[in-house]
Amino acid sequence: MSHEPVHKPSQTDLFYDAFRASPIGIALEDMDGQPLFVNPALCSMLGFSEQEMQGKHCVDFSPPDDAAKDWTLFQQLRAGHIDHYHLDKRYFRKDGSLVWGRLSVSLLNSGPSPVVIAMVEDITEMRLAQDELRQSEATLQKLSGRLIEAQEQERRHIAREIHDDISQRLALLANGLYQLARNSSEPDARVLLQLEPLLTHVSDIAQALHALSHRLHSSKLETLGLVPAMRGFCREFAEQHNIGVDFTSFEVPGELSRYTSVCLFRILQEGLSNAAKHSGATQVDVRLEGVSGSLQLSIRDSGVGFNPGMAMRGSGIGLMSMKERVGLLKGTIVIMSKPNGGTQIQVAVPIASHADVDRLNATT
């Protein structure tokens, strides 16, 4: 029985078969960026034949901006400064449409003359999905801005109603009760005994309404600015809740956009309110500082702490509202806390220019 010799494919044959069968687009180029061989996957992706692609230069397949980035890296590769690089870029199809490709380029220097292997993965659908996601996020951010602005307008409206109407009515009621007690020709001791606690009660209600009106809308914030408004609020909050609040400020600009001032003032309110309600701390340190074109706010207590991740997933909207406000100003917020380890809220927002304020105004 005779045995015919088994033909084993050479490494060159195996490489060529893999090159042709690869689902990822591949091109072999010389050191000048001229395509030498192009596999069917890349031809199908761009709609050119291999001969058509061999007649072009690598920079001819992309818009100028993308081609310039690719060519800069290619020259570094050719000069020996790098041996590979990756780049997401756009490619022209033969019909003039654009596709996105993830380009991976490596230098093959093992043969008699070096060549460049370029592999391209079609990521058009992924990029389209990313663009849609960014557009959705931008739309949601604009909606969030409109909701926050509507909330601020409603706060101002309610605060004015409290100050101009309800507080005035209470003042008239208190004055009427006082005159009744004072002008009675023969005051009954029992009546006076009943009027005294009523007057005290009315006074307490008036003070509570004043504090509520101030929380809803701070007139000091508009007339005096952020630092005096924050300092005044910290002082009032400390008196109302019997908690120490130490406020310090450094290098804070005198003129700030309303959005920046309102954002930081609301975060201060929320941070102090959470500290008083949940931390059990007797002291809160607040620091506002201007640093390199940004405003940084820190609110720190040494209370019982909490798990920020669980709090964000909870039903409360305080922390989420803080994040939304800071996000609208392209700032950052970090909440550091752990059980029995206290809590620190760190916020940094850019000091918006008038153009930024106009832009934000237009979007909200």
Write out pLDDT tens, residues 194-211.
677 777 777 778 777 776
The pLDDT score that the predictor gives to residue 340 is: 78
Residue ranges covered by each domain of the chain? 11-122, 135-217, 220-364
Asked if residue 336 lies in contact with residue 319, where contact means CB atoms within 8 angstroms, the answer is no
Q: What CATH code would you report for 220-364?
A: 3.30.565.10
pLDDT of residue 63: 94
Predicted local distance difference test score (pLDDT) of residue 223: 79
CA neighbor of 325 nearest in space, from 269, 255, 248: 269
What pLDDT is attached to residue 85?
A: 95
Low-confidence ranges of the chain (pLDDT < 70): 1-13, 111, 139-145, 147-149, 152, 157, 159, 163-164, 167, 180-194, 211, 213-219, 308-317, 352-364
Cα 319 to chain centroid distance, Å, stands at: 13
pLDDT of residue 358: 43
Same topology, domains 11-122 and 220-364? Answer is no
pLDDT of residue 11: 65
Question: What confidence score (pLDDT) does residue 222 get?
Answer: 76
CATH topology (fold) of 11-122: Beta-Lactamase (3.30.450)
What is the bridge-based pairing of β-strands 283-291 and 84-92?
unpaired
Q: Which phi and psi angles does 299 have, rounded to 5°?
A: -125, 115
Question: Directed axis angle between helix 318-328 and helix 258-274, to 10°?
Answer: 160
